[in-house]
Each structure stands twice: as C-alpha cells, then as structure tokens.
Structure 1
Amino acid sequence: MGPSYTRLTRGIILAILTVLAYSFSAGSAIGLWWLIGVKSPLSPELSSVFVFSLYAGAAIGSLLASQTLTRYGRHWTLHLYCFPALFGWFFMCAVVRVLTGPIMPAKTLVFGRFLTGLSLGMVIPSSLVYLVELRPVDASLFGAFISLGVVSGSTLAQSVLDCFRIHFIFGNCLFLLGVNLLSCFLPESPKWLAMMERFQQACDARSWLYET
C-alpha cells in the first residue's frame, strides 16, 4: 500500500477548485436550459422530447466516461467534457436569441440540451473519481464538491434576468475555456498512472500534488 496523505496542499486545492468550476459550469447550463424550456412555446410532445434529451445525453455521456476514464485517464476525460459542453452553450445562445420570436427552433432546442446532458454525464463521474483518488485520508467529503458546484451553478443560472442571458452564456463559455486551460497544469491521477504501470509518472504526479 502507498503512503497516506493527511493535509491539503496547493496542488490538491487547485484540483478542488478546478473540479468545482467544471461542475459549476455544468450546473449553470442545466439551470438555463430549464428556464428556456419553461419559456419556449413547445407542444406537449416536443416538451417531452426536450425533457428526455437531457437524460438521454447524460446516459450516453456516463457510458462514454466509463470507457475513457479507464483507457485514457481521469484528466483527459475532464478535458474531453469541454467539447460537448461548449457546443451545448453555442446552441443555447442560438435559442436564446430567437426565444421571443415567432419561430422556435425545436431541433436546436433538443440537440443543444442533449449536448448539455452528454457533457453532464461525462463530468460528474470523471470529477468524482478524480477527486476521490486525490483526496487526503481525512477528507471524506470530497465527493460533495461536485454536487455543490452543480447546485450553485443551476441556482445562479435560474436567477439571471432575461436581458442578461446572452452575456451569461458568453461569460460561461469564457469561464469554461479558462478552467480547461487551468486544468492543463494538473497532473493525472497517481492511482490511475500506477494502475497503468506508469510508475515514474505516478511518482512525479504524487510529488506535485502532495509536495513530497
């Protein structure tokens, strides 16, 4: 068994903040899509498809994450999450611009929400696994950071005024890109590297994270 680490270091705090930011962005998208669904003049049939699209995307995202987490690592999966998330924000922007117009792009609504669900299904398991594998032995509540980020983001998004939604979407895109750039400085999970028998890289990652 490897050594036990009992303190929070700068590397661990950076990992916490990065994962919290990822989950916050995902929660913001969920909250804003909910508002869009409430205000959109969809038929009952399309409303059902709109609601289902998020869950379908999340299910597919979870299945995809289960493969990439094992094959390519926790860190790479977090990077991969950003692609469907950004496209989901793009479709959301297109919908918000015409939300009060005479034509409601139903396909754009459904596909954009599906992409958000896909990103959500990827970010929750990958963030959770990454944090749990990094946590010190006396920090058993690490998994709660993901829920905290999602709930906080969703709450904030639902409080945004109509006139500021485009600005909120644009700000979230920049925020997500910035977080993705910041996460480039984080190492891969030492446990995953050791599982892949990349022992020197695992030692380097452990030294960076725990300052040993």
Structure 2
Amino acid sequence: MAQPNLTLKSEKATKSHNPQYLACGLLCIGGFLGGTITGWSSPGLPSIQATGHFSLLPSDLSWIASIVHLGLLASAPMAGYMIRKIGRRNTLLFSSIPFVIGSTALAFPLQVWIFYVGRFFDGLGLGFSIIAGSVYLSEISEPTLRGSLSVVWFVSIRLGVLFSYGVGSLISHDKLSGISALLSVVFGLSILFLPESPRWLMAKWRRQQAIDALCWLRACDASMPSPKILLEINE
C-alpha cells in the first residue's frame, strides 16, 4: 500500500525540480558561449593568417589571443557591484550586450584593431556572465541539486571550448564568430524567461516578488505558497 504514496512523492519532487533544470539549461547557453569565446583563439588565429587579408605581427597575434582576459579582468569588479545593485538576472541579461558586440565585431573584421575591440568586449561579457551565473545558479537551486547543477554548468563551458576547437578547425574565424554572435542573442532572450534570484529580492525587501520567484522555481502555486516555500523565504 505504501508504493503508490512513494511514487506520488517522487513525481511531485520531479515536477518541483523541472524549473530548476530549465533555469540551469538556459544558463548553460551562456556557459557554452563563454567556452566558445575562450577557445576561439586556437582555431581563429591560424584562420586569420590563412586569409592573407591582414598583416599581423607576432605581437598582434599575442594581443588578440590575450586581450579577452583584460576584458574579463575589467568586468569582474563591475559584475560584483552589479549583481548587488541591479540583481543577478539583470546582470546576466546585461552580459549578452558585450557578447553581441564582441562576436559581431569579430564576424566582420574590416581592420586589425577590430579584432582587439571584439576580443575585449567578449572578455567583458565573459566576466559578467561567469560571476552572475555562478551566484544565480547557487541561489535558485535546492541544496540537493546545487552541486550537480553547478557541475553541469561548468561542463557546458568546457563543451564550448571543445566546440571551438572542433568546429573552428573546419570553418573560418568569421563564421565561428558569427555562431557566437547568434548564441549571444539566444542567451540574452533566454534570460528573459527566468525570474530574479529570490535571495536578492529578499535582500531588497521585496518579499512578495521573492515568493513569486521561488514558487516559479519550485513549481508551486504562487497564490497559495506551501509552508516549505515560506520556510525557505524566512531563512
């Protein structure tokens, strides 16, 4: 007689986890995008040299490869401020802007300096998305899922690097950047479907909005939040 009750509880638990899986999946688009940008220089630089359209010195190649990290270094302090000021979700949404600018610039490089600008903006987006994404994912997930979802997110970054190495060896640098630009738009649109972090909303004393966001993430009725939801809100 106990078996149907166990099955029902299992189904309810699975249903409550689905929005968290969805949120992680949408965040993984940004993780994959970050990976493609991180791995871009390996196939991208030989592709640029192969075209013969640009006269690049060895120092140019080094800067194009490394300036993305300067962008990341510049955006990290700003990201820490923005996730506290405007929220985790809005910072993730903002990160798609430098991603779009950087990847689009690399897809249409008319002069050498555009490579510098494109890679720097990609680094900015990378810094914003990594910091905001890791904080957001840790705050929206239940303790039992937090570790596994974080692993999935970081795996998506590695898959993006692998994608750049594999696909980038078969296509030109501008086409690879065009794919990244498309992913940037998809990532920005996907974040629109996610709620803000309930923890950040509570920090701003927006209790009802926090309850609505948490109910979305836990697949429950926001008009009748369960005691478990209210307990998590109080914590």
Following superposition, the deviation at residue 33 of structure 1 comes to: 3.2
Give 3-state SS (helix, strand or coil) of 2:195's partner: coil
Following superposition, the deviation at residue 180 of structure 1 comes to: 2.0
For 2:16 and 2:133, the matched residues in 1 are separated by 18
1:6-25 to 2 correspondence within 5 Å? 9-25=17-33
Return the letter of the residue paired with 2:23: A
Aligned to 1:119: 125
Give 3-state SS (helix, strand or coil) of 1:179's partner: helix
For 2:184 and 2:161, the matched residues in 1 are separated by 15
1:34-73 to 2 correspondence within 5 Å? 34-41=42-49, 42-73=56-87
The structure carrying a bigger helix percent of its residues is 2
Name the stretch that deviates more: 149-158 or 42-51: 42-51
Aligned to 2:154: 147
Q: Tell whether 2:178 aligns with 1:173.
A: no
Return the letter of the residue paired with 1:137: P
Give 3-state SS (helix, strand or coil) of 2:45's partner: helix
**C-alpha RMSD of matched pairs (Å):** 2.3
Larger Rg over CA atoms: 2
Following superposition, the deviation at residue 205 of structure 1 comes to: 0.5
**Structure 2: where are the runs of 5+ without partners?**
1-12, 50-55, 221-235
For 2:106 and 2:26, the matched residues in 1 are separated by 23
How many pairs were matched up?
A: 200
Name the stretch that deviates more: 46-55 or 74-83: 46-55
For 2:117 and 2:177, the matched residues in 1 are separated by 17
For 1:179 and 1:40, the matched residues in 2 are separated by 27
For 1:27 and 1:126, the matched residues in 2 are separated by 16
Aligned to 2:213: 205
For 2:178 and 2:63, the matched residues in 1 are separated by 26
Return the letter of the residue paired with 1:68: M
Which has the bigger relative contact order, CA under 8 A and spacing at least 6?
A: 1
**Structure 1: where are the runs of 5+ without partners?**
96-103
Q: 1:112 to 1:164 in 2, by over 3 A?
A: closer
Aligned to 1:90: 104
Return the letter of the residue paired with 1:124: I
Following superposition, the deviation at residue 22 of structure 1 comes to: 0.8
Please, what TM-score do these two structures have when normalized by structure 2?
0.77
Matched-pair contact (CA < 8 Å) for 1:61–1:118: yes
Return the letter of the residue paired with 2:104: F
Q: Tell whether 2:172 aligns with 1:158.
A: no
